[in-house]
Structure 1
Amino acid sequence: MNFKKTIQLLNLVLLLLVLSSCKKHDNDISDADLPKDSLPMMHPSEKEPSKLTAAYINKKKAEIESFYNKNWPHNSLNGSFLVAKDGQIIYERYEGYSNLRAKTPITADTPLHLASVSKMVTATAILKLVNANKLKLDQKVNSILKEFPYPDVTVRMLLNHRSGMRSYSYFTDKKEIWDRHKTITNQQLLTLMATKHIALESKTNTRFAYCNTNYAMLALIIEKITGLSYKEAMSKIIFKPLGMTNTFVMDYDKDRKTVVPSYKGNNVEIGMDFLDAIYGDKNIYSTPRDILKLDQARNAPSFLEPSLYKQVFEGYSNEHKGKRNYGLGIRMTLLDNGETLYYHNGWWHGNTSSYVSLRRENVTLICLSNKFSRKPYDIRKLSALFGDYPFELGDE
């Protein structure tokens, strides 16, 4: 009898060990579960913010304040605004409400929807993975995402919008393709393209066509390469290492009722729709102070190997001569004087955003709003205060 009980006890212990192992795999992957070098994490800028003179700061503050008051008279900006030089904030303003009904004020710690400025952040994670030899820029997407139906598209072409794919908003609203009463995810979007035979808009790599679908697929690539959800991967690669404590990827199921809503220009709230669970092209919430940390890290020597870094800021759409171009997750305007303005704008529902990085002058310009307005895009004009950029601050 004692021998039989001993066997039963041993079997029970073995079962508990198996269940414990299974439970460990079911949980989110923790930092302790990952080899130290398994994820290529961002590093803060090695440079301390420069100590600008009081005279310089006061002069720039007065000029920026004048511009701000012309663009947003009577505190009409509903959002956040920041200008920094060499990593040092020289001017910031936070106006309006994150929730108009509750009259919750927007502060320096209020995360607002970045809209398509999220693409710059997604591109940053992809570039770090390329830099760490986790994937290659010219690797075929279908070698990573086996279901991906367009055989000639590469990672680089997703980054620079030359894949030829159609924007998902142009085909998911057709009832024979998708039921708009159901929220669609990134993976479901990929499956739709594979099973519903969604044709390319243009032949791959023949022209630039800005397309949100590209960055939704890049988010899936991040998940495939890291073995983490996009939300977890972005936190581990970028947000936590840089101390971006007010930045996160919206989890549609968990966060949609608590994130900052957006509004039309007449203050009518814009609800979420069936496309709001898709991430990579959008759905990152952040603050100007956190974006400044990312901007400085992206411009630090430790960001990427020099040869890869150079490719980020090349223009890839040269089939037609023009002033505007697109790099790897960054827009650019080629100016007549030989300067290049690097930036990314965003617009999703009532959220509009603008991020400008003057790389040579190490100046960062950021404006975010959760109430629809095109005025945030005008922040680029402030570049004229810091370098040879052909903008008049009084221009409309």
Structure 2
Amino acid sequence: MTFTKNTNILYISLLFLILNSCAKEKKKIELADSELPKNTLPKMKPLGKVEKKLTAEYINIKKNEIDSFYNKNWPNHSANGSFLVAQNGQIIYEKYEGYSNIRTKTLITKSTPIHIASVGKVLTATAILKLVNAKRITLDQKVNTILKEFPYPDITIETLLNHRSGMRNYAYFTDRDKTVWDRKKVLTNQDILTIMATKDIGLEFKPNTRFSYCNTNYAMLALVVEKITKLSFEKAMKQIIFEPLGMKNTYVFMYERDKDTAVTSYKANKVEIGIDYLDAVYGDKNIYSTPRDLLKFDRARNNNSFLTKELKALVYKPYSNERKGTKNYGLGIRMVNWETGQNFYFHNGWWHGNTSSYITLPKEGVTIIALSNKFTRKTYDVRKLARLFGDYPFRVKDE
């Protein structure tokens, strides 16, 4: 009896310790979660439609067609980058060729993060939309209610996202006048805001009257993310997008930390391109990623549990209709809208020697990614692959 009683007391004591430890651990997790922007982390659900599993025969046919295109576009293994085509989340074709560093002969692999240039705008826009989704900001909110220095009272979050703000490109107004900026000093996002607030940098046109693609819009959106989340852009992107989606090989380039270790950029003739005074600005660029990580992102972005159905519809809405034409821009996405009703959604990028192409075809469930760290316009030709999956009537001049 004494042995049984002592044993019971021991079991009760151990149970109390375990429960107490679990309660403390749960409290730690709750505290960590409370530091994040509320309701911004995606709770993924299945896609709205039932997706068919691709058959082996279908995959083999498409794989051969894509391989034929690949060898024609990059003959004799001339590619220097990474490439992926997937449908319904299933990878049909991927290829990794060339060097992340030619001098050291370091090969590009499926886990090599390459500078995605302006494709990063798609991710920056999505972070902003997650904050809209969480009711932390609104699309029609004036930017100067968030960034107090911001000198243009009529510019909204939406007109930054769709490039209808009328702001001037920071690369131009910091390049031509030493009284505005000394190019011997590295420029930051905050520097851009301060310059616009103090140096009488006027607008090119009245906000929301026409479209003009401008990197300044997305440099300001990065500051909005920081202001609302009270986190650095790097940490905010990790917590809102990268970590929840398992994008383990994606990061925001931080100038002082990464300038000597990031994947090298090259001209077409393999001459290395160094960094310059614009390389510390983020939001419009300066995200490094891989095709596999961008596939994860694309799958989430087209899921109604990541952004609401209504907000996702606004992403793919054409906003610039002053002139009749097929080309347009949504909220962080380029598009081609044909009169037939067919729509093609994509974003290209180019920074130093890095070129990138992100294509998302939600109707067909197709994702196409091409990244290169050695300058080539062939990266953009991957749009031709859309024809393999649907009626995408590209003309020669569109390609």
Partner of residue 88, structure 2: 86
Partner of residue 55, structure 1: 57
Q: SS in structure 1 opposite 2:117?
A: coil
**How far 1:306 sits from its partner (Å)?**
2.1
* Structure 1 residue identity aligned to 2:330: G
* Structure 1 residue identity aligned to 2:297: L
**Conserved in 2, the CA contact under 8 Å of 1:357 and 1:363?**
yes
In structure 2, C-alpha distance between the alignment counterparts of 1:31 and 1:107, rounded to whole Å? 37
Partner of residue 183, structure 2: 180
Relative to structure 1, the CA distance from residue 33 to residue 131 in structure 2 (aligned partners, 3 Å threshold; closer, same or farther) is: closer
**Conserved in 2, the CA contact under 8 Å of 1:223 and 1:230?**
yes
Partner of residue 120, structure 1: 122
In structure 1, C-alpha distance between the alignment counterparts of 2:101 and 2:272, rounded to whole Å? 9
Q: Mapping of 1:1-396 within 5 angstroms?
A: 32=32, 34-35=34-35, 38=38, 40-44=40-44, 46=46, 51-173=53-175, 174-391=177-394
Q: Taking structure 1 as the reference length, what is the TM-score of the superposition? A: 0.89
**How far 1:51 sits from its partner (Å)?**
2.9
Q: CA RMSD in A?
A: 1.8
In structure 2, C-alpha distance between the alignment counterparts of 1:278 and 1:115, rounded to whole Å? 12
Relative to structure 1, the CA distance from residue 225 to residue 36 in structure 2 (aligned partners, 3 Å threshold; closer, same or farther) is: closer
**How far 1:336 sits from its partner (Å)?**
3.9
Q: How many residues align?
A: 366
**How far 1:34 sits from its partner (Å)?**
2.7
**Conserved in 1, the CA contact under 8 Å of 2:144 and 2:150?**
yes
Percent identity of the aligned residues?
Answer: 65
**Conserved in 2, the CA contact under 8 Å of 1:50 and 1:88?**
no
Gaps of 5+ in 2: 1-29
In structure 1, C-alpha distance between the alignment counterparts of 2:314 and 2:355, rounded to whole Å? 28
- State the Cα deviation string for residues 102-155 of structure 1 (Å, max 9, x = none): 110100000000100000000000001001100000000000000000010000
Q: Which moved more, 1:52-61 or 1:332-341?
A: 332-341
**Conserved in 2, the CA contact under 8 Å of 1:97 and 1:106?**
yes
**How far 1:335 sits from its partner (Å)?**
2.1
* Structure 2 residue identity aligned to 1:152: D
**Conserved in 1, the CA contact under 8 Å of 2:44 and 2:306?**
no
**Conserved in 1, the CA contact under 8 Å of 2:170 and 2:215?**
yes
Q: Which moved more, 1:144-153 or 1:167-176?
A: 167-176
**How far 1:381 sits from its partner (Å)?**
0.6
In structure 2, C-alpha distance between the alignment counterparts of 1:214 and 1:42, rounded to whole Å? 25
In structure 1, C-alpha distance between the alignment counterparts of 2:188 and 2:90, rounded to whole Å? 39
In structure 1, C-alpha distance between the alignment counterparts of 2:394 and 2:45, rounded to whole Å? 29
**How far 1:164 sits from its partner (Å)?**
0.1
- State the Cα deviation string for residues 32-69 of structure 1 (Å, max 9, x = none): 27356635113446359853111001000000000000
* Structure 2 residue identity aligned to 1:105: L
Q: SS in structure 2 opposite 1:254?
A: helix
- State the Cα deviation string for residues 317-350 of structure 1 (Å, max 9, x = none): 0011111000000000112432010000000000
* Structure 2 residue identity aligned to 1:102: T
Q: SS in structure 2 opposite 1:274?
A: coil
Q: Taking structure 2 as the reference length, what is the TM-score of the superposition? A: 0.89
In structure 2, C-alpha distance between the alignment counterparts of 1:356 and 1:82, rounded to whole Å? 11
